[in-house]
Structure 1
Amino acid sequence: MNKESHSIINHMLSNDAFSRWMGIEVLESEPGYCKLSMTIRKEMTNGFGVCHGGITFSFADSALAFASNSRGPISLALENNINFTKKVSVGDILTAETEELQNGRTIGVYKVSISNQNDELVAEFRGTVYRTGKSHSIE
């Protein structure tokens, strides 16, 4: 595990109340990469009793943020989209794994695959970030 990228991700998570509310745990991290886990709770469901799509999107968005910022420069989302491929239910344990598709000086592109505890793909997310050129200040 890369110490600098891990420090950036841990700092971001400690200041991210929503990701902490979701119960996100960092399993692995390297520059441009992270693997996260979370468990779906009842308060995360919609009117049909399945996981609200916004929760799955937010989980992927956190993975995008952590992976893209782990290289050092502050990176902000420009555009994101998601495809839901399987229902997510209470008790499911989701894993988000990032793949860095492009690491440019000002633009980064990432794919986030979200799977359940049975290694079934439940969503695929793609995000583009803008690299501000400013560094994280970790105190």
Structure 2
Amino acid sequence: MPAQADNETAEQRARQIVDQMMARDAFSRWLGIEVLEVTPGRAVVRMTVRPEMLNGFAVAHGGIAFALADSALAFASNTCGMVTMTLESSIFFATPVRAGDVLTATAEETSAGNRVALYDVVVTRADGTRVAFVRGTAYRTKQAHD
């Protein structure tokens, strides 16, 4: 039973950290991001693409899917309890995104050391189509979250 209690405490702490981050994250709120799931090393977020997010080709600007994935990565990486920042990330756009598309980004830790961790993020449309893939490296500072 103690291991289950530790897991519940870790999940509660992870959610508390992400809730605090969202409260201060005007950009993620402007995007309309909703946090669906948070567990240590993992975050799932969702948003709807709005018409003002389209580029001159009537598809979502690449920064939209990237920003959604980046927020998911930030939330997932900070669940470790230390203030964590992305060092680098790259994206592969698999298919265009349009206004009205509901996008979900799932970020998962794939490898972690004391200071550096690797995350994979998959962005999907509501129909399950994978629209973008992000890989990011995050740096864990020595500063604990409040």
TM over 0.5: yes
Q: Distance in 1 between matches of 2:142 and 2:113?
A: 11
Deviations 1:68-107 (A, max 9, x none): 0011001111110000001100000000011211121100
Partner of residue 24, structure 2: 15
Residues 1:79 and 2:91 aligned together = no
Shift of 1:7: 0.5
| TM-score in terms of structure 1 length | 0.96
Q: Which residue of 100, 112, 125 corresponds with 1:103?
A: 112
- Would you tell me which structure has more helix in proportion to its own residues? 2
Residues 1:46 and 2:32 aligned together = no
Partner of residue 66, structure 2: 57
Residues 1:123 and 2:132 aligned together = yes
Partner of residue 31, structure 1: 40
Query: What secondary structure does 1:90 align onto?
Result: coil
- RMSD (CA atoms): 0.8
Percent identity of equivalent pairs: 47
Structure possessing the higher radius of gyration over alpha carbons: 2
Query: What secondary structure does 2:73 align onto?
Result: helix
Query: What secondary structure does 1:59 align onto?
Result: helix
